[in-house]
Structures are given as structure tokens and as C-alpha cells.
Amino acid sequence: MLLNKFKKKSSAFTLVELVTTLMILGILSAVALPKFFDAQFYDALGFFDEFMNSVRYAQKTALASHCDVKVTISSSSYTLYQEGTCGSGSFTTIVAGPSGDFSASAPGGVSISGSTFYFDTAGAPVDASGAAYGDQTITSGSYSFKVHNNTGTVEKL
């Protein structure tokens, strides 16, 4: 009898409580988690990375080929053009890459701000007349990158 008075009362969860908790967590994760992972967010981020790296590729192509490269930007797409014949000023050839042409449209809900510019044979951003263009800030959705004057370096902001 005396031992029963000093015996500790154990507290633990029953199997029914554990199973019920797991079921509630499973239902909540199936219903609530998809709202946190929006595919449009990842589409916008993927397009931004693709766009920024395409501009980097344009600069490197201008350096390697010794031909100017034109970066055409509209509110919903971009395209990289190379001169058909170096020095001709006629940008008719879309720059080709390992996985296809460097031309893409923004996913739904993503707009692009920036203006058309060129990379000269030294890799610097210039305008249509060949004058230095200054730093370019280009925005795709809620992301931005900068093309630095003189060097053509592309920096994510």
C-alpha cells in the first residue's frame, strides 16, 4: 500500500491520440501546403534566371565572335540577334545556343522592363549608333539585374 502512494503517475499519449494527430496533419498538409507553393512564382523565377543568363551569353558571344549582338526587349519577351555579316549593322540572325534559339516569352503575369541595346565587339553595352549606353537596369517580374557600362558585366540585384 505504501508503494502505491509514491508511485509516479506516468503521462504519455495514447495510440489513438497519435493516430488522430497524424491524420489531422496529413489533411492540413494536403489542403494548405499547395497554397504556399505557387507554380507561377517558380515560373517567374526560372524565366528571370534564363533571361539574365541569356544577356550574359550575348555579351560573351559578342566578345568571342567579334560581331555585335543585339538584345531586343519588349514588355513580354526578349530575343538575341547577331549580325548576318559582322559590321553590316543588319541584325537578322537569332543567336543560337545549345538548346535552341535565344528568344523567349515571359510566363503569364510577368512583364519585362528595359530597352533594346547592343553589345559591341569589346562586350560593352552600346546604343544603335555605337555610343556608350550607361548602366542598364532590367526588370523581369519582381526581379532585376544590371548590365554595367563599359564592361558589360551582368549583376543580379
Q: How far apart are CA 144 and CA 156, in angstroms?
A: 6
Burial class of residue 53, CB neighbours in 10 A (0-12, 13-18, 19+): middle
> Alpha carbon of 93 to those of 65, 77, 81, 143: distances in Å?
13, 17, 5, 28
Residue 129 forms part of a structural domain: yes
- For residue 57, the model assigns a pLDDT of 92
Closest CA to 81 of 109, 66, 62: 62
State how many domains the chain has.
1
| Residue 15 lies inside a defined structural domain of this protein | no
Give domain status of residue 31, yes or no: no
Per-residue pLDDT, 133: 81
32 in a domain, yes or no? Answer: no
pLDDT-based confidence at residue 1 (cuts at 50, 70, 90): low
Inside any domain, residue 35: no
**124-128 long-range contacts, Cβ below 8 Å, gap at least 24?**
124/149, 124/150, 124/151, 124/152, 125/149, 125/152, 126/68
pLDDT tens for 3-47 read: 566 666 667 788 898 999 999 998 888 887 776 677 788 888 888
DSSP state, residue 102:
S
Radius of gyration of the chain (CA): 28
- Asked if residue 86 has pLDDT above 90, the reply is no
Residue 79 lies in a domain: yes
Q: Does residue 3 belong to any structural domain of this protein? A: no
pLDDT at 101 over 60: yes
Tell me the pTM.
0.73
CATH number at residue 121: 3.55.40.10
Range of the structural domain that residue 114 is part of = 40-156
